[in-house]
Amino acid sequence: MAEVKLAVLGGGGAGKSALTVRFLTRRFIGEYASNAECIYTKHLCLDGRQIHLEIYDPCSQRGKLSLTDELHWADGFIIVYDISDRASFAFAKALLYRIRESQLGACKKMVESAVFLVGNKQDLCHMREVGWDEGQKLAMDNKCQFCELSAAEHYQEVVAMFMKVLRNVTSSFKVKEKRRPSGSKSMAKLINNMFGKRRKSV
Ligand SMILES: Nc1nc2c(ncn2[C@@H]2O[C@H](COP(=O)(O)OP(=O)(O)OP(=O)(O)O)[C@@H](O)[C@H]2O)c(=O)[nH]1
């Protein structure tokens, strides 16, 4: 069974939990505890292949750009901003820059395929502060995929976005394998040391 680890990152209130929970449960829940970080686990079948998926949803990320733990842990990243909040777009930009900077030297192909930029809260387009073309340009500049959607109103789009990331991550696994230092035992230890987070199975 393939193991895939995704980190959903972005500014405070951008909708990281909403997107994650929407994908995992089909439901949009208005409010989430933002003081607890979680790793959700889920088994799913992708193109006939069994996947053990772990999704890291941090508590509020305001100001945290170091990403050292996340960069070691994650196979792929979903970077979320709120289209009605320009500050969250600036934060997403900084996160993309940080990811790109740290991985570019190691493995360019992986960077290009395993990062997805998401402009969330498309239902709030009457309050839009970030244009679609700005998101698209940022994604192109960082060679990642891009979409706008609404965790509140779109279920299929949210699933499609997660599936695209999963497909890209699993197809880049051959490259990634070379980077992994050792087996799953040491990786589990690393995760526990770094995160020690609450785990939830869905
Ligand atoms: N209108 C609208 N509101 C949304 C959408 N997604 C999330 N929200 C709301 O935005 C607020 C923040 O959502 P969260 O999912 O908690 O955001 P977060 O990025 O996990 O926030 P932190 O944990 O504080 O970093 C909540 O009130 C959600 O109901 C959306 O697509 N549309």
Q: Is a pLDDT exceeding 70 seen at residue 114?
A: yes
Residue 201: alpha-carbon gap to chain centroid = 18
pLDDT recorded at residue 101: 82
State pLDDT tens for residues 31-40: 766 666 789 9
Q: Is a pLDDT exceeding 70 seen at residue 124?
A: yes
pLDDT bucket at 186, cuts 50 / 70 / 90: very low
In the numeric block, the tokens 């589990």 are attached to 188
In 3D space, the residue among 179, 182, 145, 197 whose CA is nearest the CA of residue 71 turns out to be 179
Q: Strand pairing partners for 6?
A: 55, 76
ipTM of the complex: 0.98
Q: Is a pLDDT exceeding 50 seen at residue 183?
A: no
Structure tokens, 186: 């040491």
pLDDT recorded at residue 84: 98
Could you tell me what percent of the chain has a pLDDT over 90?
A: 58
For residue 76 and ligand 1, the question of a CB distance below 6 A is answered with no
State which of 121, 130, 148, 149 you would mutate to test the pocket of ligand 1, scoring each by most atoms of that ligand within 8 A of its C-beta. Answer: 121
Q: Is a pLDDT exceeding 50 seen at residue 26?
A: yes
Q: Are 145 and 139 in contact (CB under 8 A)?
A: yes
For residue 12 and ligand 1, the question of a CB distance below 6 A is answered with yes
In this prediction, residues 6-33 reach a mean pLDDT of 90
SS (H, E, C) 135-202: HHHHHHHCCCEEEECCCCCCCHHHHHHHHHHHHHHHHCHHHHHHHCCCCHHHHHHHHHHHCCCEEEEC
Q: Is a pLDDT exceeding 90 seen at residue 113?
A: no
CA gyration radius, the chain: 16
pLDDT recorded at residue 163: 95
pLDDT bucket at 157, cuts 50 / 70 / 90: very high
- Give Cα separations from 77 to 7, 48, 95 (angstroms): 5, 23, 10
- Give Cα separations from 16 to 51, 141, 166 (angstroms): 22, 23, 17
In 3D space, the residue among 4, 23, 174 whose CA is nearest the CA of residue 77 turns out to be 4
Please give the number of the atom of ligand 1 that sits closest to the Cα of 151: 31
Q: Coil, helix or strand for 42?
A: strand
pLDDT recorded at residue 60: 65
Cβ count within 10 A of residue 169: 25
* Spacing, Cα 32 to ligand 1 middle (Å): 8
In this prediction, residues 45-52 reach a mean pLDDT of 91
**27 or 183, higher pLDDT:** 27
| Triad 70, 48, 145: Cα angle to 5° | 40
How far apart (Å, rounded) are the C-alpha atoms in residues 170 and 22? 22
**50 or 193, higher pLDDT:** 50
Q: Is a pLDDT exceeding 60 seen at residue 61?
A: no
Please give the number of the atom of ligand 1 that sits closest to the Cα of 30: 29
